[in-house]
Chain A
């Protein structure tokens, strides 16, 4: 089957605009994770979902960031009023469970550039 897909692959936006990033996990995977990869901060955890619930949002950098997951499948990460420091690659991963031992399968990422 298909792997994790993300869209768009690239996004250029102006400072202050809102953006939505989409993640389609592997079919049947109940856990979904968002990470951010930037030059200064490396790979950082943002949020994860068990089904449609988000038990851990501790990595979201500010209240401008939010995420939701519907139908236990697709997830959207929304960044409001984007800032230049939001420029990064946003990675999504999914796994068959959330116990810590399951392999996370990563998508190719969305490269966000805020001008």
Chain B
């Protein structure tokens, strides 16, 4: 069965520190992978996506993610976190037919001044 696991429910980092949010997936074929961000009171916004090719993908707001097939992982990274990055982050795998998204439980990011 298709599934996504985000092991960290809540992470706190200091402003300016680096960030890595973990995501593990289970999918029978080459996965379509997505990271979305949800700021308080706002809808979900796509940060980046991966389908094939270069396993390191760049997204908006300075985020990047690396696909590692051997580890079934698609971790999100940012070299230097800003206070405005505080939000909830969702990893998702997309079905090849129809495109429905299967989301992880989300990781809430807090940023300390």
Q: Report the contact-size class of chain B (Cβ under 8 Å from the partner).
A: 20 to 34
Q: Does A84 belong to the interface (CB within 8 Å)?
A: no
Q: Does A43 belong to the interface (CB within 8 Å)?
A: yes
User: Are the C-beta atoms of B96 and A100 separated by less than 8 Å?
Assistant: yes
A-B contact count (CB 8 A): 65
Q: Does B11 belong to the interface (CB within 8 Å)?
A: no
Contact of A100 among B45, B46, B94 (CB under 8 A): B94
User: Are the C-beta atoms of B43 and A98 separated by less than 8 Å?
Assistant: no
Q: How far apart sit A56 and B13, CA to CA, in the bound complex (Å)?
A: 40
User: Are the C-beta atoms of B94 and A106 separated by less than 8 Å?
Assistant: no
Q: List 13 A-B contacts (CB under 8 A).
A: A4-B43, A33-B99, A42-B105, A45-B102, A50-B98, A59-B100, A91-B44, A98-B97, A98-B99, A100-B99, A101-B51, A101-B99, A109-B43
Question: Measuring CB to CB, which residues of chain B are less than 8 angstroms from any residue of chain A?
Answer: 32, 36, 42-46, 49, 51, 90, 92, 94-106
